């Protein structure tokens, strides 16, 4: 029972939270509600004031007329009674007094010749009685006042409004001056109460109509005011979607028209700025592409020469002068690095231009990783935890580029051993590359996939170009996947590659489009921790 009650409370709280969020999320609703509250407050205040003024006017008019008539009857009829009247005389006089124009009930009280209290009521014994008169009123009527210059009478007329059984009454009392007769009057105010109730209903209906009218008026005003705001919101969304030619139709001279003009000016300036930036970016991409393309021809010749020089260095004849051998090896290394940089720049240019294509095939992921490690002579430095039979439809060359960069980055900047694991997750393949080094500094983590980013500003030059991880992530994106980097709680960095098992080719026909040569972003290297020559990787981020 306690759990059920708690669940109901939670459901009710959730309902209240949802309602509180929905109540004032709409500017139109808020405008209507505020306008309605103002109108309701004004209408209720006006109705309350009108009702109070009318009520006082009606009751005061009736009360004054009845009291004036009762006082006159007391003087004309009760004042002529003998000093010790009998009950019949009181009864007769009370009946005469009740026949006045105001039609009220009368009770007369006096003492007979024996000193006993006698009563005379206009309604007989079952009519108006002394019990119907409040004690406080009786005490005030019978209290003798001191005669002064300001108070010339010993007794005064007192009145009080009472309610019995839901019907209001006016009760008044007075004592005959110079006599021993006290008279009380009872007047029903039910007709006046009915008139006031009718007035209250009328004012309530008027208030309701005023509220409905104010809501309709607020709706009309909201439509008039919010329509330009709505158009401005739609235009802003279109502008955010890249439709920079969006403009607002301007009419009028009010603040909303000024806002529309400001929006049009801002949109025009933004469109011009974006066009200028797009032009400069396109020119920059063309420059990089043309430069990379133009560099390939001389680089081919230089690479051929450096390969010959490298063969001479490694030959047994030793025809190279030992004095210049370090310079020759430096030229060979830098030429290889320059060749890798040009290839990477061309690959980045293809990604930026959107011309990169997938050439897909059914790939056994474990075999592909083994081939990547074996081709680069990393077998002794990498532990592979992958079962054969995990097949995904991928571009083998681009997967090789990703793996070469991730594993090569771990070998260069991490610590041994480097472990590569493969597992299946729903319709995806997850490849994790973990090293046991110091990890990646927290301020570097958000930038490890940035182009040309170097973790140490004091060492801007390194073996890598700073493009490897960026190219690896672009290759993952073109497969519809993602690469993330984090530090392991046990130490070291972990790069996680998530690839769908069935890739929807990004950029066109899976068998079409010019693409980069097989060595892109993983060109020849100068060696590896595993020993032997092979292909290195691009990274340089740690």
Q: Are 343 and 516 in contact (CB under 8 A)?
A: yes
- Fold of the domain spanning 356-542: Heat Shock Protein 90 (3.30.565)
3-state class (DSSP) for residue 171: strand
Share of the chain above pLDDT 90, in %: 5
Q: Are 147 and 155 in contact (CB under 8 A)?
A: no
3-state class (DSSP) for residue 359: coil
Radius of gyration in angstroms for the set of CA atoms belonging to the chain, rounded to a whole number: 52
The CATH number given to 81-188 is 3.30.450
pLDDT one-digit tens code per residue, 416-463: 789 999 998 888 999 999 998 888 888 888 888 887 776 554 444 455
Q: Domain boundaries in the chain?
A: 20-76+190-243, 81-188, 251-354, 356-542
Q: How far apart are the first and last CA of the chain?
A: 59
pLDDT one-digit tens code per residue, 92-129: 888 888 888 778 888 888 888 788 888 888 876 557 88
Please report the pLDDT score of residue 527 as a whole number: 36
Both tokens assigned to 412: 């260069």
Handedness of CA 49, 52, 58, 62 (dihedral sign): negative
Q: Are 538 and 465 in contact (CB under 8 A)?
A: yes
Q: Are 397 and 425 in contact (CB under 8 A)?
A: no
Going from the C-alpha of 44 to that of each of 54, 193, 332, the distances in angstroms are 15, 20, 94
CATH of 251-354, one of 3.40.1280.10, 1.10.1470.10, 3.20.10.10, 1.10.287.130: 1.10.287.130
| 108 backbone dihedrals φ, ψ, rounded to 5° | -110, 140
Residue 27 has pLDDT above 70, yes or no: no
Both tokens assigned to 262: 């400001």
Please report the pLDDT score of residue 497 as a whole number: 92
pLDDT one-digit tens code per residue, 40-98: 888 888 888 888 888 788 878 888 888 888 888 888 888 788 888 888 888 888 888 88
pLDDT one-digit tens code per residue, 319-337: 667 777 778 778 777 777 7
pLDDT one-digit tens code per residue, 476-518: 888 889 999 999 888 889 999 999 987 665 444 444 444 444 3
3-state class (DSSP) for residue 90: helix
Residue of 490, 492, 329, 491 whose CA lies nearest to 414:
492
Average pLDDT of the chain is 77
* pLDDT mean over 382-398: 88
3-state class (DSSP) for residue 74: helix
Between CA 436 and CA 494 the distance in angstroms is: 9
Which parts of 124-178 fold into alpha helices (H)? Answer: 135-142
């Amino acid at each position: 029972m306690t759990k059920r009650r708690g669940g109901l409370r939670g459901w009710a709280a959730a309902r209240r939270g949802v309602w509180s969020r929905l109540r004032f999320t709409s500017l139109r609703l808020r405008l209507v509600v505020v306008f309605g509250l103002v109108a309701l407050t004004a209408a209720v205040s006006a109705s309350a004031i009108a009702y109070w003024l009318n009520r006082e006017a009606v009751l005061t008019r009736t009360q004054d007329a009845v009291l004036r008539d009762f006082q006159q009857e007391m003087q004309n009829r009760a004042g002529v009674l003998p000093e010790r009247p009998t009950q019949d005389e009181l009864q007769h006089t009370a009946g005469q007094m009740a026949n006045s124009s105001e039609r009220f009930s009368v009770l007369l009280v006096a003492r007979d010749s024996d000193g006993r209290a006698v009563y005379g009521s206009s309604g007989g014994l079952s009519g108006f009685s002394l019990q119907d008169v409040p004690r406080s009123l009786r005490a005030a009527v019978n209290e003798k006042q001191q005669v002064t210059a300001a108070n010339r009478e010993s007794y005064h007329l007192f009145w009080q409004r009472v309610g019995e059984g839901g019907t209001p009454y006016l009760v008044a009392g007075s004592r005959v001056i110079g006599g021993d007769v006290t008279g009380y009057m009872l007047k029903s105010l039910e007709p006046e109460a009915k008139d006031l109730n009718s007035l209250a209903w009328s004012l309530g209906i008027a208030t309701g109509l005023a509220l409905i009218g104010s809501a309709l008026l607020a709706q009309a005003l909201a439509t008039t005011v919010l329509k330009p705001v709505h158009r401005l919101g739609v235009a802003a969304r279109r502008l955010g979607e890249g439709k920079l030619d969006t403009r607002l139709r301007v009419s009028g001279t009010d603040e909303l028209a000024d806002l529309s003009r400001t929006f049009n000016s801002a949109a025009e300036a933004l469109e011009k700025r974006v066009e200028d930036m797009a032009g400069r970016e396109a020119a920059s991409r063309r420059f990089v592409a043309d430069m990379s393309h133009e560099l390939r021809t001389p680089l081919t010749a230089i690479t051929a020469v450096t390969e010959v020089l490298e063969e001479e260095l490694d030959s047994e004849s030793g025809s190279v002068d030992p004095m210049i051998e370090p310079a020759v090896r430096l030229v060979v290394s830098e030429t290889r690095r320059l060749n890798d940089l040009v290839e990477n720049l061309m690959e980045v240019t293809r990604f930026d231009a959107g011309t990169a294509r997938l050439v897909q095939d059914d790939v056994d992921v474990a075999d592909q990783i083994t081939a990547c490690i074996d081709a680069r002579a990393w077998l002794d430095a990498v532990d592979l935890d992958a079962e054969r039979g995990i097949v995904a439809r991928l571009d083998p060359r681009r997967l090789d580029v990703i793996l070469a960069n991730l594993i090569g980055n771990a070998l260069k900047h991490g610590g041994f051993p480097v472990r590569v694991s493969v597992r299946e997750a729903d319709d995806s393949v997850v490849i994790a590359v973990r090293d046991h080094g110091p990890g990646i500094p927290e301020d570097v983590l958000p930038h490890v996939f940035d182009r040309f980013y170097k973790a140490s500003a004091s060492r801007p030059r390194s073996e890598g170009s700073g493009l490897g991880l960026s190219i690896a992530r672009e290759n993952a994106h073109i497969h519809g996947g993602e690469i993330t980097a984090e530090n392991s709680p046990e130490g070291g960095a972990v790069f996680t590659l998530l690839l769908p098992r069935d890739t929807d080719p990004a950029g066109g026909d899976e068998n079409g489009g010019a693409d980069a040569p097989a060595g892109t972003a993983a060109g020849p290297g100068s060696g590896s921790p595993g020993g032997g020559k092979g292909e290195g990787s691009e990274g340089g981020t740690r």
